[in-house]
Homo-oligomer: A and B are copies of this chain.
């Protein structure tokens, strides 16, 4: 845990650069005096660090406007963070849809796009779709591929640290796919692959239903349900990246899979046929009793899965996405059951980002990666046994 650090000479310099850059990003074209005040650093330090950041291309001196200040002699120099100094991509690879988001170093979205894809498409075809989509998004935004600093990718399945899909039953040919390695051929920057539910959890925390909470569980309700969780604001992946893979709970005890629960006949639905699922939900809304029973069964099961997650993790907030976001009245039974069985029932909310959640989270993960290089300096001294 942690590493022992003596007096690292470069440490303070790095901390100071991070502090100044952070202050620069937070203010509107501040002067050196502004930065000295907000950072608490000495003026020579701020001046030196700022020059360094200008050389690095991360900061630029702004041109003073005509008028007022001009007349009373030379105005104070002003600076701004160059969000355009680099760009980030967030990509979702789904069973029916591929989506991409483009931003500058400040995380503001400056480009987006999506493509439908067949759930039967093989891995090569799916990845070719991704390449075409990314090329199109970059072109339309007028951003050079070489300007990309990091690419985040959200995908179904259990993803290893190197981006290899350890297990991914939702997409044909996905299990064992070296997804990270395949994608890195298209980019010169780091490519970070993350489980889709994990990415969605990060997204809801960034700009969705969970901006106020650091301890959340995001449930991606679907035929192969999954969940992502943040603990203290950090993604909890688990020892092997399999945390939250609660789909298997359906098989525990009794054999109840969503495709069986949602069937209105004696035949289970096809595990990947989301259209059939949509039909059942539609029928239920129209009052069809068999469909209503099916949806009821599905909701009961979802509640059980979520309760198991909540009992294990004790989050402050549960955000429900995927199909459930489209389900009328999934929240009330969920709240009722959780308050019955959980010693501390968490708040429950629907996803605010919906379809955009996974790509948005993938973008945030790419941004985190770059910000760690730009801003984060960490030194810890801990001694344990």
- Which A positions have Cβ atoms within 8 angstroms of B? 1-2, 4-7, 12, 15-16, 18-19, 21-22, 25, 39-41, 107, 158, 166-167, 206, 214-215, 227, 229, 231-233, 236-246, 248-249, 251-253, 304, 307-309, 311-316, 337, 340-344, 346, 368, 371-372, 374-385
Contact = CB atoms under 8 A, between A and B. Distances in A.
8 contacts: A6-B19, A6-B40, A107-B385, A231-B231, A238-B314, A308-B312, A378-B381, A378-B382
B344 A240 contact: yes
B41 A7 contact: yes
A372 B231 CA distance: 22
Looking at A231, A238, A249, the one whose CB has the most chain B CB atoms below 10 A away is A238
Contact of A7 (B16, B158, B214): B16
A252 B12 CA distance: 54
Nearest to A244: B312
A15 B6 contact: yes
Contacts of A251: 340-341
A158 B233 CA distance: 22
A314 B4 contact: no
A15 B381 contact: yes
Given A6-B15, A231-B236, A383-B25, A245 B378 contact: no
A312 B315 contact: no
A379 B374 CA distance: 17
A243 B15 contact: no
B341 A307 contact: no
B7 A314 contact: no
A4 B16 contact: no
Given A4-B19, A15-B7, A252-B308, A314 B382 contact: no
Given A304-B252, A313-B238, A167 B343 contact: yes
A278 to B, nearest CB: 27
B385 A314 contact: no
A231 B384 CA distance: 16
A316 B240 CA distance: 8
B377 A158 contact: no
A1 B233 contact: yes
Contacts of A231: 231, 236
A382 B380 CA distance: 14
A312 B314 contact: no
Contact of A245 (B15, B21, B314): B314
A134 B227 CA distance: 45
B375 A242 contact: no
A312 B382 CA distance: 29
Contacts of A312: 227, 229, 243-244, 246, 308-309, 312-313
